[in-house]
């Protein structure tokens, strides 16, 4: 009944069921609908009134409704599977010691204590699995796993995708591949939903690759322009590098963590937590999977593809950065968290590979955002930085904080990307310095939504980013003097400091972005040929104007969520509920999402919230924003008004007067020279000196060897032909012929045909024979 329970496992409660609410058992429909719309759009899209967009919007709308209902069903399931009903409803499997499982065991309180949270409620995941095939004693199953993590992702993916679909009907209206765009948008959504619902690592690999293929097609949507096709190839190839780590890590888990080789995620996690997997195997798997995260989720040093991916349409950028492609790596770590918890020994530690990669990414990408002129690339490096926050949080053991930040980040980052697209739609450019400035006068509604998203991203109270960012910082356990470190998984002081620096950088570069885009004087007016719809009767391009409702309403919705979603996980002691429900809104996200007490999730500690720490972190963010505000809104703006020039910076700034600052600025402009390393040295070296060396070896060594062998064979053949075949073999045969001919000539003198000659010969022969007998008898 439960394929994840391996024979021979220690007797335990396995907190999973295949009997639950219909919505939970059939959550696969949420992924199936966008996949069906992909097929319908491909075959019938161009014949439809809206060129196939109606298929995509309808399918994702139904999936979104089902995701909401599934979320409600999960909340009911989570709260009502208590100890009293656990044994009856869950049909829990307990190994009887002989390798067989006993169904429907009624559990006593003591037996099931580990499977419950503090109020006696059990966290029971729902798993529906069907055997696909069996080969060599290994079962290949296809199924779904529904728990708080997957339900949360279903809501995020379907909501963001629906808003992106609606937004795209205006943004890419009249596009040369409009139908193709919506087809792949639907497949992209279906692939991510398939990935988050997977109940085994083999399915996760398939979903992982499907997401990558869809991103390749959408990033290169306008493939006729070389930078776009280059960006798509760069994303595809860079992710293939990380996929080597994914495959090696998953193969390691298959052989080492399955007790009989299994792909089942729950079984793998359970066996790791039971101590049935060697630490060496877990170190290898965790390191390899971290490399996969580095490519898919844009961690340093495999992040370079992500900013270039901005070559794709802006709605695609929003979907990639908020809900699909880049969060796949974070989701994978969260789903296989025991691998990292045990493999990297997160508990009680102060440093590990995953946390350090995340911390370096957080600060490194934040610095790069400062030197970008393209508004989408500012947001792209911002995404890389925030993904660093999430990876760091998982690395320090702050599982709920990482997932909560993924949740809140999805809304305000989608808001910012779609907002940047709204501005670019008006000025036909993404260059903040050359073509924007003063846009708040033309687009006041877009401006308000963009500022809300920026404040949420900066982590300022009371917006969504404040709550999730603060939870990450407090769970590093690295801030003892202000409290809040109690029960934290470890003491990650370095990562705490990097998190603080990241908070200041985020607030600063978003202040710069808001100023260059919306404040100062409008610097546009020199648009390309695609701006004809803004030309006036005299042939001059008119002023930008506010976007239409299909662009604005998704921004309104995302702005509202950027404000409100942080309230779903209030820390203890903040806005408590009534006497009937003392918890109120406190830690509701943690309660429904974190698999606390389940058999496949470690016992993760949670730091005590610290208001002092929250205040200090907020002041750090305000200080970063204040520094940027002073530079741009005060100094640059004042000088611009005095000189009448459209300035985007001080002409005698620190990067022009200080050699150290100039060198640092050059390093950032060249993106730490990583692109030069990959493209100029590695790829260029492969195409240049290495290719020439390989060609020389091919021509002079390989071909020389082959040609030499051929020449030797020819000379040997000539020797054999001339000396042996002609001289020896043919000579011997010719000599025997000449000898036979000579004997024949002599015999022709005797064989004349005359009878008297024959009689004489016979007489001579008889005489010789008689003489021989006489001699024989004599002796």
Residues 6+ apart with CB under 8 A from 212: 235, 236, 239, 243, 296, 325
- CA 191 to chain centroid, in Å, comes to 12
Contact 79, 119 (CB under 8 A): no
- Are 265 and 144 within 8 A, CB to CB? no
**316-346 pLDDT per residue, tens:** 989 888 888 899 999 999 999 999 999 999 9
523 pLDDT more than 70: yes
Residue 527: the pLDDT is 44
pLDDT value at residue 2: 38
Residue 529: predicted pLDDT: 38
Question: pLDDT band for position 619 (50/70/90)?
Answer: very high
Strand partners, 140: 133
Q: What is the mean pLDDT of residues 493-517?
A: 94
The yes-or-no verdict on residue 103 having pLDDT over 50 is no
How many residues can be counted in the chain? 779
Class of residue 233 by CB neighbours under 10 A (exposed 0-12, middle 13-18, buried 19+): middle
Distance between CA atoms of residues 522 and 127, nearest Å: 56
Contact 621, 458 (CB under 8 A): yes
φ and ψ at residue 109, rounded to 5 degrees? -60, -45
Mean pLDDT of the chain: 83
pLDDT at 116: 46
Q: Is the pLDDT of residue 562 over 90?
A: yes
Please give the distance of CA 613 from its chain centroid, rounded to a whole number: 33
pLDDT in tens, 32-85: 999 999 999 999 988 988 899 999 999 999 999 999 999 999 998 888 865 444
Residue 563's pLDDT band, with cuts at 50, 70 and 90, is very high
Residue 484: what pLDDT?
59
Q: Give the pLDDT confidence score for residue 157 in this predicted structure.
A: 96
Cα–Cα separations (whole angstroms), residue 501 to 495, 496, 618, 758: 10, 9, 12, 129
Lowest mean pLDDT among 306-310, 530-534, 564-568, 732-736: 530-534
* Higher pLDDT pick, 250 / 722: 250
> Which residue reads 């820390």 in tokens?
571
Angle among Cα 509, 512, 515 to the nearest 5 degrees reads 150
Q: And the tokens for 166?
A: 């609606």
* pLDDT score of 181 more than 60: yes
For residue 593 the two structure tokens come to: 């999402």
Report the percent of the chain where pLDDT is more than 70.
85
Written as one string, the DSSP assignment of 24-91 is: HHTTHHHHHHHHHHHHHHHHHGGGSTTTTHHHHHHHHHHHHHHHHHHHHHHHHHHHH-BHHHHHHHS-
Q: pLDDT grade, residue 88 (50/70/90)?
A: very low
Q: Do 459 and 473 meet the contact criterion of CB atoms below 8 Å apart?
A: no
DSSP-based three-state secondary structure for 95: strand
Q: Would you place residue 777 in the very low, low, confident or very high pLDDT band (cuts 50, 70, 90)?
A: confident
Q: Is the pLDDT of residue 530 over 70?
A: no
d(CA 490, CA 484): 12
pLDDT confidence of residue 123: 79
Least confident of 253-267, 298-312, 318-332: 253-267
List the one residue out of 183, 225, 162, 181 whose CA is nearest residue 36: 183
**Residues 92 and 4: beta-carbon distance below 8 Å:** no
Give the percent of the chain with pLDDT over 90. Answer: 44
Cα distance between residue 572 and residue 72, in whole Å: 23
| Banded model confidence at residue 5, pLDDT cuts 50, 70, 90 | very low
Please report the pLDDT score of residue 259 as a whole number: 63
Estimate the crossing angle of helix 53-80 against helix 28-44, to 10 degrees: 180
Q: What does the block give as tokens for 725?
A: 């075949």
- Among the ranges given (20-34, 116-130, 447-461), the one the predictor scored with the smallest mean pLDDT: 116-130
CA–CA distance, 622 with 500 (Å, rounded to integer): 12
Residue predicted with more confidence, 591 or 118: 591
* Choice between 708 and 22, residue whose per-residue pLDDT is larger: 22
Q: Could you tell me if 436 and 643 are in contact, meaning their C-beta atoms sit under 8 angstroms apart?
A: no
- Across residues 663-690, what is the average pLDDT? 82
Mean pLDDT computed over 118-125: 65
77 by Cβ neighbours in 10 Å (0-12 / 13-18 / 19+) ranks as: buried
Q: Is the pLDDT of residue 417 over 90?
A: yes
- Cα 3 to Cα 18, 143, 260, 474, distances in angstroms: 10, 11, 12, 39
- As a whole number, mean pLDDT of residues 675-679 equals 83
Prior bond to 357 cis, omega within 30?
Answer: no
- Cα-Cα end-to-end distance for the chain: 111
CA nearest to 359, candidates 476, 474, 463: 476
Residue 82's pLDDT is 53
- Tell how many helices (H) and how many strands (E) occur in the chain: 34, 5
Strand order in the sheet with 16-17: 16-17, 125-135, 138-146
CA angle, 298 then 142 then 282, to 5°: 50
Please determine, for residue 27, whether its predicted confidence score (pLDDT) is greater than 90: yes
Q: How distant, in Å, are the alpha carbons of 86, 179, 187, 725 from that of 41?
A: 45, 7, 10, 75
| Per-residue pLDDT tens over the stretch 184-219 | 999 999 999 999 999 999 999 999 999 999 999 999
Of 282-291, 336-345, 446-455, 588-597, least confident by mean pLDDT is 588-597
Strands 16-17 and 94-95: unpaired
């Amino acid at each position: 009944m439960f394929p994840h329970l391996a024979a021979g496992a220690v007797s335990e409660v396995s907190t999973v069921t295949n009997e639950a609410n219909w919505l939970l058992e059939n959550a696969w429909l949420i992924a199936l609908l966008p996949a069906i719309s992909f097929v319908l759009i491909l075959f019938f899209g161009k014949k439809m009134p809206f060129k196939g967009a109606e298929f995509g919007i309808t399918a994702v709308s139904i999936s979104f409704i089902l995701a909401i209902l599934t979320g409600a069903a999960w909340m009911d399931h989570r709260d009502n599977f208590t100890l009293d009903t656990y044994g009856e409803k869950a049909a829990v499997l307990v190994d009887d010691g002989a390798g067989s499982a006993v169904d429907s065991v009624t559990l006593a309180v003591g037996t099931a204590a580990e499977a419950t949270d503090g109020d006696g409620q059990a966290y029971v995941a729902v798993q529906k699995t069907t055997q696909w095939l069996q080969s060599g004693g290994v079962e290949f199953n296809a199924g779904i796993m529904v728990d708080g993590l997957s339900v949360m992702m279903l809501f995020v993916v379907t909501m963001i995708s629906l808003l992106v679909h609606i937004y795209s009907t205006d943004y890419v209206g009249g596009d040369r591949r409009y139908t193709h765009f919506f087809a792949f948008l639907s497949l992209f959504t279906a692939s991510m939903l398939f990935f988050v619902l997977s109940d085994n690592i083999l399915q996760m690999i398939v979903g992982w690759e499907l997401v990558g293929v869809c991103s390749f097609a959408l990033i290169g949507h306008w493939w006729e322009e070389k930078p776009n096709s280059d960006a798509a190839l760069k994303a595809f190839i860079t992710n293939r590098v990380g996929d080597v780590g994914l495959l090696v890590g998953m193969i390691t888990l298959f052989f080492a963590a399955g007790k009989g080789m299994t792909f089942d995620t729950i079984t793998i996690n359970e066996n790791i937590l039971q101590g049935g997997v060697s630490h060496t195997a877990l170190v290898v798997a965790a390191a390899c999977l971290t490399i996969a995260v580095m490519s898919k989720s844009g961690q340093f040093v495999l992040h370079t593809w992500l900013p270039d991916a901005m070559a794709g349409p802006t709605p695609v950028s929003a979907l990639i950065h908020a809900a699909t492609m880049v969060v796949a790596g974070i989701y994978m770590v969260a789903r296989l968290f025991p691998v990292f918890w045990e493999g990297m020994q997160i508990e009680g530690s102060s440093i590990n590979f995953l946390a350090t990669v995340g911390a370096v990414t957080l600060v490194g990408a934040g610095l790069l955002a400062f030197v970008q002129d393209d508004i989408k690339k500012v947001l792209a490096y911002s995404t890389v930085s925030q993904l660093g926050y999430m990876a760091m949080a998982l690395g320090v053991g702050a599982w709920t904080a990482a997932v909560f930040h993924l949740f809140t980040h999805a809304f305000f980052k989608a808001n910012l990307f779609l907002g940047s697209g709204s501005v670019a739609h008006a000025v036909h450019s993404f260059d903040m310095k050359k073509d924007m400035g003063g846009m708040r006068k033309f687009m006041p509604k877009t401006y308000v939504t963009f500022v809300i998203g920026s404040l949420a991203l900066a982590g300022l109270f009371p917006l969504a980013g404040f709550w999730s960012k603060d939870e990450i910082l407090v769970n590093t356990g690295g801030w003892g003097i202000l409290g809040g470190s109690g029960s934290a998984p470890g003491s990650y002081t370095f990562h705490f400091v990097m998190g603080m620096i990241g908070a200041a950088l985020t607030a600063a570069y978003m202040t710069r972005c808001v100023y260059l885009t919306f404040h100062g004087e409008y610097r546009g007016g020199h648009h390309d040929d695609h701006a004809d719809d803004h030309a006036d009767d005299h042939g001059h391009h008119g002023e930008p104007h506010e976007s239409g409702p299909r662009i604005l309403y998704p921004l309104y919705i995302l702005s509202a969520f950027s404000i409100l979603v942080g309230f779903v996980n209030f820390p203890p002691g903040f806005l408590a509920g009534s006497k009937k429900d003392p918890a109120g809104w406190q830690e509701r996200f943690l309660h429904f999402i974190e698999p606390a007490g389940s058999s496949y999730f470690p016992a993760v500690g949670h730091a005590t919230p610290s208001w002092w720490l929250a205040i200090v972190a907020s002041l750090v963010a305000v200080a970063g924003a204040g520094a940027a505000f002073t530079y741009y809104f005060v100094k640059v703006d004042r000088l611009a008004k005095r000189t009448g020039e459209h300035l985007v910076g001080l002409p005698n700034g620190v990067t022009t007067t200080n050699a150290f600052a100039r060198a640092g600025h050059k390093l950032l402009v060249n993106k730490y020279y990583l692109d030069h390393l990959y493209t100029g040295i590695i790829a260029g070296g492969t195409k240049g000196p290495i290719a020439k060396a390989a060609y020389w070896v091919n021509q002079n060594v390989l071909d020389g060897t082959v040609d030499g062998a051929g020449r030797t064979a020819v000379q040997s053949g000539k020797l054999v032909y001339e000396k042996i075949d002609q001289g020896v073999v043919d000579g011997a045969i010719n000599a025997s012929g000449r000898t036979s001919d000579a004997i024949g000539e002599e015999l022709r003198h005797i064989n004349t045909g005359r009878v008297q000659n024959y009689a004489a010969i016979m007489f001579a022969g008889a005489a010789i024979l008689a003489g021989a007998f006489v001699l024989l008898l004599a002796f």
